Each structure stands twice: as C-alpha cells, then as structure tokens.
Amino acid sequence: MIYTQWTKKALALCFEAHKNQTDKTGLPYVFHPFHLAEQMEDETSTVVALLHDVVEDTDYTLEDLQKMGFSSQVIDALALLTHDPVVPYMDYVFQIKSNPVARRVKLADLAHNSDLSRLDQVDEAATGRVHKYEAAIRLLNEE
C-alpha cells in the first residue's frame, strides 16, 4: 500500500463508508477495496481502488468526495466506475476503457470478484457472475 496524505484520507473514508457492510460470505466488505488498493502502484489508482464502490454502495456522492478535496483525476475515474443501473453492464464496462486508472482498478475488481474460492458455496448465480466478469475482462483488455 502506498501511504500518502490522500491514500490515508481514502483509507479512512473507505473504512467509514463500508464499516457496517459485509460481502456475500459475511466478511467485512472493506477487505475488498483494501485488497484492490494493495495491488495499485501509484497514489491516484490506490485512492480510486479504495473508493471505487463508495458512491455506488453508500450515501456518499461524487460531489461529497470533490468537496473533501479529492482530485479531478480521482473523481473522473470514480464517475466511470460508478455503475448507473439504467446503463447496460457491458456499455458501462466499455466506458471504463477510456480511463487508464479506472481500467486498472476495474480489472483488479473483476479479478477479485471472479475468485470463487472466496465463496463458501458456489451456485449458479456465482458462476453466472464469473462468466459476465470474464466477458468484461476481455472487453477491457481489447485494443
């Protein structure tokens, strides 16, 4: 993990935003963004990894994050990573391709979400999600 003023601010916000959430196995959800952040190599992608689900899964907005002082590069990537449910999933993924930071974080997100060893039970829904994520990974890796 890269520790800077902004990554520490993002760590604290990530924890606060997700502290009462759990993943599909009942583990604290915050482990997921922490796992992604550990894979990033620069400040901006680390911050984006930590905050990638904050707007989508909590009451925080992009405007809130902007008021907190996060950079426009962070806000732009987070805007792309926040899936509007009216936008078809693969259209959403295609838009992410345009931003190298958002793309890097989404690829890490998809890889982690595709790891079926995280689940206590692998059912049809889980395998269906993995197939969707594999298609998204292919799309993000296309030239």
Among 16, 38, 42, 56, which one carries the catalytic annotation?
56
Active site residue 123: no
Q: How far is CA 21 from the centre of its chain?
A: 15
Which residue(s) pair with 142 in the sheet?
A: none
- CATH of span 5-141: 1.10.3210.10
Token pair, residue 7, equals 């990554």
24-59 pLDDT tens trace = 888 899 999 999 999 999 999 999 999 999 999 999
Does 126 or 72 have the greater pLDDT score?
72
Q: Quick one: tokens of 38?
A: 């550990």
Which among 8, 38, 29, 10 has a CA at the least distance from the CA of 108? Answer: 38
User: In whole angstroms, what is the distance from residue 137 CA to residue 141 CA?
Assistant: 6
* Radius of gyration of the CA atoms of the chain, in A: 15
Residue ranges of domains in the chain: 5-141
Task: Please tell me whether residue 30 adopts helix, strand or coil conformation.
Answer: coil
pLDDT, tens only, 110-123: 999 888 888 778 88
CA 100/CA 96 separation, integer angstroms: 8
pTM summary value: 0.95
Active site (annotated) includes residue 53:
no
Average pLDDT of the segment spanning 74-85: 97
Catalytic residue among 16, 38, 42, 57: 57
Maximum CA extent, the chain: 43
